[in-house]
Structure 1
Amino acid sequence: MKLLLGRVLLPVVRRGSRGCTGGPQKEVRVRFAPSPTGFLHLGGLRTALYNYLFAKKHGGVFILRLEDTDRSRLVPGSAERIEDMLEWAGIPPDESPRRGGLYGPYEQSRRLNFYHEAVQTLLESGAAYRCFCTQQRLELMKKEALRSRETPRYDNRCRHLTSSQVQEKLAKNLPFVVRFQLPSGAPSFQDLVYGRTHHNVASVEGDPVILKGDGFPTYHLANVVDDYKMDVSHVLRGEEWLISTTKHLLLYQALGWPPPAYAHLPLLLNKDGSKLSKRQGDIYIQHFVQRGFLPDTLLDIITNCGSGFSGNQVGRTLPELLRQFNLRSTSTHSALLDLDKLPEFCKVHLSRWIEGADTRAQLVEQLQTLLQEKYKDVTFDKTYIERILMLRKGHLHLLTDLLSPDFSYLWIRPSVQQEELQRLSSEAAEIGSLVVRILQNSHKDTSLELLSKELKSQLQLLKATKYSTSMKLLRLVLSGLETGPSVAEMLLSLGPEESIIRLQTASSG
């Protein structure tokens, strides 16, 4: 590694930065720091949500920071999509690569000078050292440990190199990494969720790499440096990092920096207790957006199965989650996510959106756009679309349900042949004319119940056609389908004018 550590200094001193003044600020600042290696999934959304709620609960700042130092795993466009999904969910960051802020850059790949400065400090104090072990040696050590049924760990060999030995190797331009020297007897710490916690990492692990051979930091160093430089007051992250926190606190101690408070969140698991896997295509937020899910639905279901909120009722919105949120009531039990319950959550939240005037207007706009994409040569009136939504409230799970073939009759007139109707009933023309008269004599605010009652009383008077057959014939005339919503519901959905036009197909026979 030819990069000279400690030679790149910050060009600007930011006023108010804890890294410059040495004193902690009282403002609550939390961060969500994903790796841009793919789509944001439900587990990541839940971590982001807890951070967002904690920040807003305390009048603080929610930061999005991208941990993109593993250059081999980066996915083009992933960083932008992560921020897109947070904005879609209604939990946008206050500071981010897109929004900027006083503590940027917010991508780790653009913050190398911070890490090199910290590494130089650790090298000079003896808390870190250069490791020249080859990849081949490390692989052999790993294989030998596995053969002996032991946990692979680095043997800290290069920790004992003398200064002259190090200089000799540097003179030969031998590649190296930088490792942090784990002291024995690590202290315990107080986690805001798990309580008093202690991990003597030096007894089970070798000294960890903090700077790779390519000059990029590992997570252990980068998150410590960035959290300090960005004045992060609280770190809320998944419990998989709980054991590593001791290493991070030791790094803070070695650098002479005060650490943030830590809260590790229990994992979000499948309902059978298995881990959410990135191979599960249905856990990505992008997947739910494309299918037409509402943000409230996802926020509700990922918090319903966990803790940190009062009660687990279905139908909570973001303001309700914010009002109920209490980090200290978060349990250490894993949260089991039951996606089989999604239809129930969808129905509740979509009904709520349909009830609200502003949110209903948004749904009308969305549905109008979707319809015009599907039926390119047809114009759809907003008033008609709104009536459809009101009539289907409580029956729909997703807005896109209305684009299914079962509801195509709402948007295009079916093609029905007279021969089909005559096969059902010789009284097809009379049935059509009878229903036209009912519609013409009905009040414009006729309810579903009254219209159903009127249809039944009139159609049962027919001599040659059973009531059930009349319903089948009318459903076919109105929708081109043999099964579906009730005839009365179809008539109310289509409205008198459109219904009469379609019924004339039957009455013209």
Structure 2
Amino acid sequence: MAVLLKRLLHTWRPPAALGRPLGRREASLGTHAGAAVRVRFAPSPTGFLHLGGLRTALYNYIFAKKHRGSFILRLEDTDQTRLVPGAAENIEDMLEWAGIPPDESPRRGGPAGPYLQSQRLALYAQATEALLKSGAAYPCFCSPQRLELLKREAIRNHQTPRYDNRCRSLSEAQVAQKLAKDPKPAIRFHLEGEAPAFQDLVYGWNRHEVASVEGDPVILKSDGFPTYHLACVVDDHHMGISHVLRGSEWLVSTSKHLLLYQALGWQPPRFAHLPLLLNRDGSKLSKRQGDIFLEHFAAAGFLPDALLDIITSCGSGFAENQMGRTLPELITQFDLTRLTCHSALLDLEKLPEFNRLHLRRLVSDETQRRQLVGKLQALVEEAFGSQLQDRHVLDAAYVERIILLRQGHICRLQDLVSPAHSYLWTRPAVGRAQLGAVSEKVDVIAKRVLG
């Protein structure tokens, strides 16, 4: 950031000095024919991976694998104040647990790294410098206090808060004067002209006239970190992303991103915005719901395939919705053109039945069944431990027989170590006091029966 700002006076020209509208390329609707498919899942490590994130990652993964492409994990950690310790590791761990590991990631590396945005600041500075040179960006010296006053005034007048573009009209001399007092301004992107129309692969043709409803957005903060709008454009370009599959909440921002692509002279990727995943009652999934995080389901004994199955069967993207699809089947049957704009309603009360179906499928496979035997042996040891009077109950043959006999009566392997199934592993322990009480009751009953 410091180097960029030192060159600011030498590179930046106020838009008025250009004497003409900013020259921007007409946005293309897609990638070159025959280009390799490269998609990315780009969560922010401000929390652990949850069902909504898993669904976005899954659609990216199966789309990439269907087209023999690459699935990339990029962590958007530019908001350093909101990072959650362990979240970055959890996201990658849970993708691997779910069976959809990235081909390139912070952990695995790859040719387009680094895959942490906080390690790519030089790329954002280069893009910002190019925008400053062309007049498509400008420094903003407005204080947080002034911006807050603008926001309050808009709310008081029942208007949508927006920046008034005050610093857009500063002259070169005014910028020099302000830089002497404030050497670390934010950098804003000059929104102007008609936003390009684009064909979203799910929502069809769209155009959002962002310049008429928004103020010029900050693209580089005073601390040298980019905002989402600049970072995602720069990273998708340098990582060679061919298709952006992301949540529909970003649909309105796409016109803004296309304006950035035009200003930088870059080819944009194809866009496909995914409808939201909602609760059964239509409410939003919330991170405050502890049971939507993947580690909760993993600890509770739910199978990855059951989760992948339920989050795809409640939505669209397939010729027909059905239970029991495996990951290879999801890949072969997925059709992006079948995605609809309707939100997907997730009924987690059905998850045990999905899990039962996938558990029985594993039991029917000899190799998978052997793995289940090992897992159940560990669960029995953990649940009962010293209570095991007969260690023979841990024999593989016995454990396998239990799984085969009880498979239709359980939803999770953990069910077999619940109190209701403890008789399978331990003998009832009856103390002297209990025996005495039983004997007394037997005597009473015998006297009444025998008269």
Q: How does 1:42-121 map to 2 (within 5 A)?
A: 42-121=51-130
CA drift at 1:192: 0.5
**Equivalent position to 1:163, from 169, 172, 178:** 172
**Aligned counterparts of 1:78 and 1:69: Cα–Cα separation in 2:** 14
Q: Once superposed, which parts of structure 1, at least 4 consecutive aligned residues long, lie more than 3 Å away?
A: 22-25, 416-426
CA contact (8 A) 1:153 1:205 kept: yes
CA drift at 1:361: 1.4
- Paired residue secondary structure (1:394): helix
CA contact (8 A) 1:25 1:231 kept: no
Residue in 1 that maps onto 2:19: none
| Alignment coverage as a number of residue pairs | 413
**Aligned counterparts of 2:269 and 2:236: Cα–Cα separation in 1:** 8
**Aligned counterparts of 1:176 and 1:24: Cα–Cα separation in 2:** 41
Moved more, 106-115 or 161-170: 161-170
2:390 maps to 1:381: no
CA contact (8 A) 1:364 1:382 kept: yes
Q: How does 1:357-376 map to 2 (within 5 A)?
A: 357-376=366-385
CA contact (8 A) 1:6 1:119 kept: no
**Aligned counterparts of 1:121 and 1:23: Cα–Cα separation in 2:** 24
The one-letter amino acid paired with 1:285 is: L
Residue in 1 that maps onto 2:417: 403
Residue in 1 that maps onto 2:14: none
CA drift at 1:327: 0.4
The one-letter amino acid paired with 2:420 is: D
The one-letter amino acid paired with 1:4 is: L
Moved more, 298-307 or 370-379: 370-379
**Aligned counterparts of 2:300 and 2:401: Cα–Cα separation in 1:** 23
- Paired residue secondary structure (1:370): helix
Sort the Cα spacing of 1:326 and 1:420 in 2 relative to 1 into closer, same or farther, 3 A: farther
**Aligned counterparts of 1:425 and 1:231: Cα–Cα separation in 2:** 81
**Aligned counterparts of 1:103 and 1:387: Cα–Cα separation in 2:** 50
Specify which structure has the bigger relative contact order, considering alpha-carbon pairs within 8 angstroms and separated by 6 or more residues.
Answer: 2
Once the two structures are superposed, what CA deviation does each residue of 1:267-310 show, in whole Å capped at 9, x if it has no partner?
00011111101111111101101111100110011001100012
CA drift at 1:421: 6.7
CA contact (8 A) 2:318 2:333 kept: yes
CA contact (8 A) 1:6 1:116 kept: no
- Paired residue secondary structure (1:371): helix
**Equivalent position to 1:244, from 242, 253, 256:** 253
The one-letter amino acid paired with 1:219 is: Y
Unaligned runs of 5+ in 1: 8-21, 427-463, 465-509
**Equivalent position to 1:415, from 416, 421, 429:** 429
**Aligned counterparts of 2:148 and 2:228: Cα–Cα separation in 1:** 21
Cα RMSD after superposing both structures:
1.9
CA drift at 1:105: 0.2
CA drift at 1:419: 5.6
CA contact (8 A) 2:5 2:183 kept: no
**Equivalent position to 1:259, from 247, 264, 268:** 268
**Equivalent position to 1:292, from 284, 288, 301:** 301
The one-letter amino acid paired with 1:40 is: L
- Paired residue secondary structure (2:246): strand
**Aligned counterparts of 1:251 and 1:296: Cα–Cα separation in 2:** 39
CA drift at 1:172: 2.1
> What percent identity do the matched residue pairs reach?
66
Residue in 2 that maps onto 1:479: none
The one-letter amino acid paired with 1:392 is: R
Sort the Cα spacing of 1:6 and 1:361 in 2 relative to 1 into closer, same or farther, 3 A: farther
- Paired residue secondary structure (1:375): helix
CA drift at 1:98: 0.7
When the two structures are superposed, what TM-score results if normalisation uses the length of structure 1? 0.78
CA drift at 1:174: 4.3
The one-letter amino acid paired with 2:285 is: L
Residue in 1 that maps onto 2:4: 4
Residue in 1 that maps onto 2:333: 324
Once the two structures are superposed, what CA deviation does each residue of 1:99-144 show, in whole Å capped at 9, x if it has no partner?
1100000000000010000000000000001000000000000000
**Aligned counterparts of 2:197 and 2:224: Cα–Cα separation in 1:** 31
Residue in 1 that maps onto 2:144: 135
**Aligned counterparts of 2:217 and 2:100: Cα–Cα separation in 1:** 35
**Aligned counterparts of 1:208 and 1:183: Cα–Cα separation in 2:** 12
**Aligned counterparts of 2:340 and 2:223: Cα–Cα separation in 1:** 40
**Aligned counterparts of 1:338 and 1:420: Cα–Cα separation in 2:** 48
**Aligned counterparts of 2:131 and 2:184: Cα–Cα separation in 1:** 19
- Paired residue secondary structure (1:129): strand
Sort the Cα spacing of 1:24 and 1:95 in 2 relative to 1 into closer, same or farther, 3 A: farther
Residue in 1 that maps onto 2:131: 122
Once the two structures are superposed, what CA deviation does each residue of 1:347-379 show, in whole Å capped at 9, x if it has no partner?
111111111112211211111112222233344
Q: How does 1:320-359 map to 2 (within 5 A)?
A: 320-359=329-368
Sort the Cα spacing of 1:6 and 1:420 in 2 relative to 1 into closer, same or farther, 3 A: farther
CA contact (8 A) 1:184 1:203 kept: no
CA contact (8 A) 1:24 1:231 kept: no
**Equivalent position to 1:216, from 225, 228, 247:** 225
CA drift at 1:402: 1.4
**Aligned counterparts of 1:117 and 1:5: Cα–Cα separation in 2:** 12
**Aligned counterparts of 1:122 and 1:24: Cα–Cα separation in 2:** 29
When the two structures are superposed, what TM-score results if normalisation uses the length of structure 2? 0.88
- Paired residue secondary structure (2:385): coil
**Aligned counterparts of 2:227 and 2:34: Cα–Cα separation in 1:** 27
**Aligned counterparts of 1:75 and 1:298: Cα–Cα separation in 2:** 24
Residue in 2 that maps onto 1:441: none
Sort the Cα spacing of 1:5 and 1:370 in 2 relative to 1 into closer, same or farther, 3 A: farther
Once the two structures are superposed, what CA deviation does each residue of 1:145-192 show, in whole Å capped at 9, x if it has no partner?
000000000000001111111111112234410010111311210001
Sort the Cα spacing of 1:381 and 1:425 in 2 relative to 1 into closer, same or farther, 3 A: farther
Once the two structures are superposed, what CA deviation does each residue of 1:48-107 show, in whole Å capped at 9, x if it has no partner?
000000000000000000000000010111111100000000000000011110000000
Q: Work out which of the two has the higher radius of gyration on C-alpha atoms and give 1 or 2.
A: 1
CA contact (8 A) 2:184 2:223 kept: no
**Aligned counterparts of 1:64 and 1:198: Cα–Cα separation in 2:** 29
Unaligned runs of 5+ in 2: 8-30, 444-448
Residue in 1 that maps onto 2:204: 195
2:221 maps to 1:207: no
**Equivalent position to 1:282, from 276, 283, 291:** 291
**Aligned counterparts of 2:43 and 2:318: Cα–Cα separation in 1:** 24
- Paired residue secondary structure (1:376): helix
